[in-house]
Amino acid sequence: MERMAAQSPVLGDFGFVALVLVMAVGLALLAAAAFARAPARTVRAPPAWAQFRFGYAVYALIFLAFDMEMIFMYPWAVVFADIGVSAFLDMLVFIVLLSAGIAYAWGMGGLRWE
């Protein structure tokens, strides 16, 4: 078996020093560019974005809750027969928690279309 030649510690130190210098020069250039830049003008939203209502996000979150419920129910249905009552109780807790979230959204008026 052939012995590998040991690397020179000078080359390793030179590489580290070169890396630190490149990083320092890069940071200095970024700082100089940030200070040399003219102040940016205010950018206004286009009129189409100004009409966006946040109420649509509530419907998206409720849809996501039902979607996640279905994603977790498919693998559960596959192993339900093997696990038995424990699997049923686990899914019952999961459905109760999701139902509580939907009931809370309903009670707070999140499902009212205005």
Say which residues have a Cβ less than 8 Å from residue 80's Cβ, sequence separation at least 6: 87, 88, 91
Cα distance between residue 17 and residue 59, in whole Å = 56
pLDDT tens per residue across all 114 residues of the chain: 455 555 666 566 777 788 888 889 988 888 887 777 666 677 776 666 656 666 677 778 778 877 877 887 888 888 888 888 888 888 888 888 888 888 887 888 777 776
CA atoms within 13 A on the CB side of 54: 1
Taking the whole predicted model, whether its pTM rises above 0.85 is answered as no
Q: Does the CA dihedral 9-12-18-24 come out positive or negative?
A: negative
